[in-house]
């Protein structure tokens, strides 16, 4: 056995080769399959980006329509699954419910569990994309004790997600097209981000040849932590706390810089970006547009802007190259759209699903793939003899 070196947090370890997502953290560049994130956010749609990430190329119009139809037709969930979705405690965190639901999905579709049958993998892909939309809306509704609605095949992915989330039963509800467009764009921005914590989790679970459902459910659990996807919820809690304490951003920043235990500027900093997160730049613009279009209260947005303004000129943040990340402004938009804070991270998971699937599929077809099994450097006791209880 050769020399093993410890690399905490895998700061310097590449776990794979990948052709899906390119990040230049110094320059603040993000591309999916070579296409700049700015162009995709502006011109593409979430399902088209999903197709691009998973299949490697932009679809022809006919291929896109076929893909959208196939996903759309699978959005209905089994009646027993609806019952299952209603059995969680009302105050359960939606991320726990969502991870459980995606894991449980596997039990309904045994024909889609094979990792080496391309048709089964394609079926699992479509089923997960379709059902996650329904599940995310059900997670919201069951947390409120509201009846779960059925999908409407005549509507688009994001439009019907919003209808199933917010419509009253038996009532015509047409989501605001500006909200549909804004959420579509946010989902595109979240769709992949190469080997982050949750994606690495999906790959390592899948490397044991666990099925796609088990792998992405593990990804949801990894995403739930406040240092990862949970940051969007934590940002809003932080902004609300600053507001409740009179809106003094400078006082809060002093606590951050003094490294008070548990006090970080949430939504700031990134392992790879040492420059402005290109997603955050798009989201910031979008927050301005959406909040003013919806006439939503801007007080929290003002606090967020104030924090950013301080950070961009403060030695602590400048010297550590800490900039806003994707989570800094998203919560403000989700809140203006009517989502509870606990739904912010499930929305991240809904958006990230195509990336997790694409990465899992790339791994499964990569001849270099081996089971993920890191080494360690042992620092415990050397050999010693067992001591019976009466002599300890």
Residue 274 found at the interface with ligand CMC (CB under 6 A): no
CB 275 within 8 A of CB 28: yes
**Which of residues 300 and 364 has its CB atom nearest to ligand CMC in the complex?**
300
The single residue among 175, 206, 219, 269 that binds ligand CMC, judged by CB under 6 A, is 269
**Which of residues 113 and 189 has its CB atom nearest to ligand CMC in the complex?**
189
Residue 233 found at the interface with ligand CMC (CB under 6 A): no
Contact map string, positions 192 to 211, toward ligand CMC, x by CB under 6 A: ----x---------------
User: Which range in 19-27, 99-107, 171-179, 226-234 contacts ligand CMC by CB under 6 A?
Assistant: 226-234
User: Which range in 76-84, 320-328, 354-362, 369-377 contacts ligand CMC by CB under 6 A?
Assistant: 320-328
Residue 320 found at the interface with ligand CMC (CB under 6 A): yes
The single residue among 30, 266, 347, 350 that binds ligand CMC, judged by CB under 6 A, is 266
Reading the block at residue 97, the tokens are: 């419910």
**Which of residues 53 and 311 has its CB atom nearest to ligand CMC in the complex?**
311
Residue 327 appears among annotated catalytic residues:
yes
Which residue has the closest beta carbon to ligand CMC? 269
Distance CA 377, CA 4 (A): 7
Residue 256 found at the interface with ligand CMC (CB under 6 A): yes
The single residue among 54, 123, 216, 231 that binds ligand CMC, judged by CB under 6 A, is 231
Residue 229 found at the interface with ligand CMC (CB under 6 A): yes
Residue 231: CB minimum distance to ligand CMC, A: 4
Instruction: Give the per-residue SS3 of the chain.
Output: CCCCCCCHHHCCCCCCCCCCEEEECCCCEEEECCEEHHHHHHHCCHHHHHHHHHHCCCCCHHHHHHHHHHHHHCCCCCHHHHHHHCCCCCCCCHHHHHHHHHHHHHHHCHHHCCCCCHHHHHHHHHHHHHHHHHHHHHHHHHHCCCCCCCCCCCCCHHHHHHHHHHCCCCCCCCCCHHHHHHHHHHHHHHCCCCCCHHHHHHHHHHCCCCCHHHHHHHHHHHHCCCCCCCHHHHHHHHHHHHHHCCCCHHHHHHHHHCCCCCCCCCCECCCCCCCCCHHHHHHHHHHHHHHHHHCCCCHHHHHHHHHHHHHHCCHHHHHCCCCECCHHHHHHHHHHHCCCHHHHHHHHHHHHHHHHHHHHHHHHHCCCCCCCCCCCCCCCCCCCCCCCHHHC
Residue 322 found at the interface with ligand CMC (CB under 6 A): yes
**Of the listed 270, 288, 289, 385, which one is catalytic?**
270
User: Which range in 17-25, 78-86, 228-236, 240-248 contacts ligand CMC by CB under 6 A?
Assistant: 228-236
Residue 267 found at the interface with ligand CMC (CB under 6 A): yes
Residue 63 appears among annotated catalytic residues:
no
Residue 270 found at the interface with ligand CMC (CB under 6 A): yes
**Of the listed 277, 327, 366, 390, which one is catalytic?**
327
**Which of residues 82 and 271 has its CB atom nearest to ligand CMC in the complex?**
271
Q: Which residues are catalytic?
A: 270, 327
Site residues (CB under 6 A) for ligand CMC? 9, 196, 227-229, 231, 256, 264-271, 320, 322, 325-327
């Amino acid at each position: 056995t050769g020399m093993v070196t410890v690399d905490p947090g895998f700061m310097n370890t590449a776990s794979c080769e990948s052709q899906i997502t390119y990040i230049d953290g110094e320059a603040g560049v993000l591309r999916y399959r070579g296409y700049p994130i700015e162009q995709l956010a502006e011109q593409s749609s979430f399902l088209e980006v999903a197709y691009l990430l998973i299949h490697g190329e932009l679809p022809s119009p006919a291929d896109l329509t076929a893909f959208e139809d196939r996903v759309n037709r699978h959005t209905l969930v089994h009646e027993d699954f609806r019952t299952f979705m209603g059995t969680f405690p009302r105050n359960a965190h939606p991320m726990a419910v969502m991870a459980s639901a995606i894991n449980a999905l596997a039990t309904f579709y045994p024909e889609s569990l094979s990792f080496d049958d391309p048709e089964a993998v394609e079926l699992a892909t479509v089923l997960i994309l379709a059902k996650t939309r329904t599940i995310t809306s059900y997670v919201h509704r069951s947390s409120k004790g509201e009846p779960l609605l059925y999908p409407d095949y005549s509507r688009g992915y994001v439009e019907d997600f919003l209808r199933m989330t917010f419509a009253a039963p038996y009532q015509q509800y047409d989501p605001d097209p500006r909200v549909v467009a804004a959420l579509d764009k946010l989902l595109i921005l979240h769709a992949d981000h190469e080997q982050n914590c949750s994606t690495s989790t999906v790959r390592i679970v899948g490397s044991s040849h666990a099925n796609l459902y088990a792998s992405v459910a593990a990804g949801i659990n990894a995403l739930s932590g406040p240092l990862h996807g949970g940051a969007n919820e934590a940002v809003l809690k932080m902004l609300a706390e600053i507001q409740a304490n009179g809106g003094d951003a400078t006082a809060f920043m002093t606590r951050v810089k003094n490294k008070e235990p548990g006090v970080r500027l949430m939504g700031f900093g990134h392992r790879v970006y040492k420059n402005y997160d290109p997603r955050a730049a798009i989201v910031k613009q979008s927050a301005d547009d959406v909040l003013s279009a919806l006439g939503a209260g801007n007080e929290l947005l003002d606090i967020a802007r104030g924090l950013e303004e301080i950070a961009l000129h403060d030695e602590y943040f400048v010297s550590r190259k800490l900039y806003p990340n994707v989570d800094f402004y998203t919560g403000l938009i989700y809140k203006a759209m009517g989502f509870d804070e606990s739904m912010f991270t499930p929305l991240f998971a809904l958006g990230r699903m195509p990336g997790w699937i694409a990465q899992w599929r790339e791994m499964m077809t990569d001849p270099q793939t081996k089971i993920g099994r890191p080494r360690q450097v042992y620092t415990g006791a050397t050999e010693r003899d067992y001591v019976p209880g009466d002599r300890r």
